[in-house]
A and B are shown apart, each in its own frame.
Chain A
Amino acid sequence: MFSFEVGSLLNIAVVLGAGLAVSVMMIWVERRFLGFWSDRLGPNRVGPFGIFQVIADAIKMLFKEDWIPPFSDKFTFVLAPMILPIVMLMALAVIPFAPGVGVMDLNIGLLWIFAMAGLASYSTMLGGLASNNKFSLLGSLRGTGQMISYEVFMGISILGVVILADSFTLRDIVESQRDGWYVVPQFFGFIVFTVAGLAESHRWPFDLPESEAEIISGYNTEYSGMKFGLFMIGEYIAMVVMALLMPVLFFGGWHAPFGLEFGTPLISGLFWMSVKAGFFLLFFILVRAALVRPRYDQLMSYGWLVMLPLSLINLLVTGAIVLYQAG
């Protein structure tokens, strides 16, 4: 029971607990770092460094009136916020954290993550559709178009990694990076994947489904209390999954850089995996602090005119080189 094998009860509990805890804490981390980077303090009143701000937020959300608009489609309205956190936690299940740590090793692990990311768009869509509100509908229309488009490039961009690793299993992909990270041969794949990943989790600067300056709060305008909280926490879980996927696919997963391994493989693996994932989490926050939101047509033309050709050329060249080396 207390052994660290993939899929043991302890493992599942730790992964689920840590995943949720980190996602929740990201709310505070994000606000605090956004504060530093825009030269203000951020939340620093509740507890040391404002660390209990999340708890204060959660209490506020839980005790808010849980209002379902009478003009909404109630069944779909209640269903929509549940989808995002559920599918994102399911995507978290296939991520390999360290040797022996992870919930499951699926032989279609990468495809599983894509399936879950694809289903996440239902949350945005149904939320806007069920709200029966013009601004919500505009937000979810944008969200759907954006997520469908960027899913294409995200899928094509990681096919280069799949070609090199010869497997869809995430654990195999990490193992095959023992001698060199895929960020070097798959640099363009990495770029496309990062941008598409930001757009998929509609994080800033791709949060056009929300864009509060134009359409109030987009698809979640009508949501209040914990239903809105589910949308928000789902977005943070998506961000954590994306930040974990980045090292797994392109930065060698739990393998230490420059042979800086220490202790047992488990400890070293967990340490390096969290360092890499933490780096990408902070990177996502920095992107939010640094970039402005594009216009919707700019987002679409950027996707189809730059990202799609780039990912296709990357796939073509990778395939050609692998075939050439195979003889």
Chain B
Amino acid sequence: MSILFYGSALIAVLSTLMVITRVNIVHALLYLIVSMFSIAVIFYTLGAPFAAALEVIVYAGAIMVMFLFVIMMLNLGQPTIDQERSWLSPNMWIGPGILAAILLAEMLYALNITDAEMAHTMVEAKEVGIAMFGPYVLAVELASMLLLAGLVGAFHLARK
């Protein structure tokens, strides 16, 4: 299991790097989808098959499809690619890159000294459901209200 975990973790990091550095937005999105797959594998290896399935169904199968859908409507061509390329100059990313690298080093150090074990409990779909509509029912209700507000807003905007 740990080789699966580290393998997919590596793919997740690499593909996310590719998402940031691609100038063609469709290719960037394809790498983002790969990154979501690898995160789904990570969930699976950590004993959460339900979360893994939802990661693929909701993120890769629905949200990313919506992203692509919007990109299709926008009709981005070569000008956008050139613009992206001009924005991706080293003096833009080198500063944040160094700061993020320092944070990464600190996090690796923190993980190293705590000596965390990989989880071995299995969380089935049923337990997720019981937790969602048991102790966390308030959060679910709040999220549903937020989504309803979004739905009404989208409906209003689309009616014009």
Interface residues of A in 114-157 (CB under 8 A from B): 114-115, 117-119, 121-122, 125-126, 128-130, 137, 140-141, 144-145, 147-148, 151
- Find chain A residues with CB under 8 A from B49 CB: 106-108
B57 in contact with A118 (CB, 8 Å): yes
A76 in contact with B26 (CB, 8 Å): yes
Q: Does A73 contact B (CB under 8 A)?
A: yes
Q: A107-B124, A141-B72 are in contact. Are A121 and B65 (CB under 8 A)?
A: yes
- Greatest chain A CB density within 10 A among B24, B53, B68, B73 is at B53
A111 in contact with B69 (CB, 8 Å): no
Q: Does B50 contact A (CB under 8 A)?
A: yes
A119 in contact with B30 (CB, 8 Å): no
Q: Does A16 contact B (CB under 8 A)?
A: no
A122 in contact with B65 (CB, 8 Å): yes
Produce 1/0 per residue, A294-324, CB < 8 A to B. Answer: 0000000000000000000000000000000
Q: Could you write out 13 A-B pairs with CB less than 8 Å apart?
A: A76-B26, A107-B124, A108-B125, A111-B54, A112-B53, A115-B57, A115-B61, A118-B65, A129-B68, A137-B72, A140-B72, A141-B69, A151-B61
Give, as a whole number of angstroms, the nearest-CB distance from A208 to chain B: 15
User: What separation, in Å, do the CA atoms of A123 and B26 have in the docked complex?
Assistant: 13
A-side interface mostly = helix
A119 in contact with B72 (CB, 8 Å): no
- Find chain A residues with CB under 8 A from B65 CB: 118, 121-122, 125, 144, 147-148
Residue of B nearest to A117 (CB): B61
A73 in contact with B26 (CB, 8 Å): yes
By size class, the interface of chain A is 20 to 34
Give, as a whole number of angstroms, the nearest-CB distance from B26 to chain A: 6
Can you name 17 extra interface pairs (CB under 8 A) apart from A118-B65, A125-B65, A144-B69? A73-B24, A108-B50, A111-B50, A111-B125, A114-B57, A115-B60, A118-B56, A121-B65, A126-B68, A129-B68, A129-B71, A144-B68, A144-B72, A147-B65, A148-B66, A151-B61, A151-B62
Identify A118's interface contact among B60, B71, B124, CB under 8 A.
B60
Q: Does A63 contact B (CB under 8 A)?
A: no
Count B interface residues, CB 8 Å.
24
Give, as a whole number of angstroms, the nearest-CB distance from B85 to chain A: 16
- Find chain B residues with CB under 8 A from A137 CB: 72
A79 in contact with B30 (CB, 8 Å): yes
Q: Does A168 contact B (CB under 8 A)?
A: yes
User: What separation, in Å, do the CA atoms of A112 and B40 have in the docked complex?
Assistant: 12
User: What separation, in Å, do the CA atoms of A140 and B65 have in the docked complex?
Assistant: 11
Identify A75's interface contact among B27, B57, B60, B61, CB under 8 A.
B27
- Find chain A residues with CB under 8 A from B54 CB: 111
- Find chain A residues with CB under 8 A from B57 CB: 111, 114-115, 118
User: What separation, in Å, do the CA atoms of A126 and B64 have in the docked complex?
Assistant: 12
- Find chain B residues with CB under 8 A from A122 CB: 33, 65, 68
Interface residues of B in 36-86 (CB under 8 A from A): 49-50, 52-54, 56-57, 60-62, 65-66, 68-69, 71-73
User: What separation, in Å, do the CA atoms of A321 and B24 have in the docked complex?
Assistant: 52
Produce 1/0 per residue, A146-172, CB < 8 A to B. Answer: 011001000000000000000010000
